[in-house]
């Protein structure tokens, strides 16, 4: 049976996002599979995986994300997380009031330098590969958006829990590192969990091993979400059979008032979802055609 859709996995600690995707790929026996938004190996939580024709919609699943994370103060790690080696220490541990005075520095347009141990490319080479070889290099700052960030005390004086809503591409490890620097100390991410992508929350996810178990007994279909349901915030247009054929053949055609321009629309006929297209001055231009 050809499978097309999305599955939302609760990625376990200790494996890469690629390894999680690869395990599902082998279990399902599919050729086309991909994910939206990498999680670090030590991180857990929502990993959005597209299967089959759904891989054509990955770029549309570019949603804001919510993270829960614990920051430990007083140590600098080479990876900016718990998996790294301690390279500097400080006895300066901030108070709740100290941290509160810095939060606004991160909200909305915040420029961050990705961690050296990240997948950002430097002259075609992944930064983490250069870091492992002790090569010297510098990464450029990039603008990200942190829409909201709250923090809470824990039972440890040097550790605080944070919850942040941020744009795609945000490095939580950079937030911890930068927060430490602002407070004249060091900090790293001790625990990290992604709790939400767009409208997908923890109630929508399934443990990786549980999903693989369902695949084994052939009872996994209810865990697969359709492309249309996942991207239900994108408007859809219903077309007749003749225009549907044009769309599926990748042909542009006039359909709307010539004043209308829309970047992304779903197009469907009475039987199925046909694909994604744009409208430019009333003319439909197919962008991604689904073979469903």
Element (H, E) at 279: strand 273-280
With tokens 């979400």, the residue in question is 225
Distance between CA 287 and CA 278 in Å, rounded? 7
Distance between CA 202 and CA 101 in Å, rounded? 31
With tokens 């602002």, the residue in question is 182
Residue closest to 48 by CA, chosen among 100, 101, 11, 94: 11
Q: Is 219 a catalytic residue?
A: no
Contact indicator for 172, 179 with CB cutoff of 8 Å: no
Q: What's 81's DSSP letter? A: B
Contact indicator for 88, 76 with CB cutoff of 8 Å: yes
40, 80, 81, 204: the active-site residue? 40
Where do the DSSP E strands lie in the chain? 5-11, 33-36, 44-51, 65-73, 75-77, 86-89, 108-112, 121-122, 125-126, 142-153, 159-166, 187-197, 200-201, 206-207, 236-238, 253-254, 262-268, 273-280, 283-289
Residues marked active site are found at: 40
């Amino acid at each position: 049976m050809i499978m097309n859709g999305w599955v939302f996995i609760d990625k376990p600690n200790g494996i890469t996002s690629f390894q999680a995707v690869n395990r599902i790929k082998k279990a399902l026996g599919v050729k086309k599979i991909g994910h939206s938004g990498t999680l670090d190996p030590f991180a857990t939580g929502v990993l959005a995986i597209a299967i089959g024709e759904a891989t054509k919609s990955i770029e549309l699943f570019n949603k804001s994300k919510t993270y829960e994370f614990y920051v430990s103060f007083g140590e600098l790690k080479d990876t900016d997380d718990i998996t790294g080696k301690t390279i500097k220490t400080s006895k300066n541990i901030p108070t709740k009031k100290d941290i509160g005075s810095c939060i606004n520095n991160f909200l909305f347009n915040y420029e961050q330098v990705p961690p050296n141990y990240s997948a950002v490319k430097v002259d075609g080479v992944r930064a983490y590969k250069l870091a492992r070889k002790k090569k010297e290099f510098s990464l450029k700052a990039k603008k990200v958006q942190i829409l909201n960030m709250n923090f809470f005390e824990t039972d440890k004086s040097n550790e605080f829990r944070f919850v942040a809503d941020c744009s795609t591409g945000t490095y939580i490890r950079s937030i911890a590192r930068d927060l430490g620097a602002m407070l004249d100390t060091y900090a790293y991410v001790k625990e990290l969990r992604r709790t939400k992508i767009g409208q997908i929350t923890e109630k929508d996810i399934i443990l990786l091993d549980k999903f693989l178990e369902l695949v084994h007994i052939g009872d996994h279909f209810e865990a697969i979400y359709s492309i249309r349901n996942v991207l239900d915030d994108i408007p859809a247009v219903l077309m007749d059979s003749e225009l549907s054929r044009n769309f599926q053949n990748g042909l542009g055609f006039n359909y709307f008032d010539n004043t209308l321009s829309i970047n992304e629309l779903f197009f469907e006929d009475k039987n199925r979802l046909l694909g994604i297209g744009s409208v430019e001055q009333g003319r439909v231009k197919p962008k991604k055609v689904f073979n469903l």
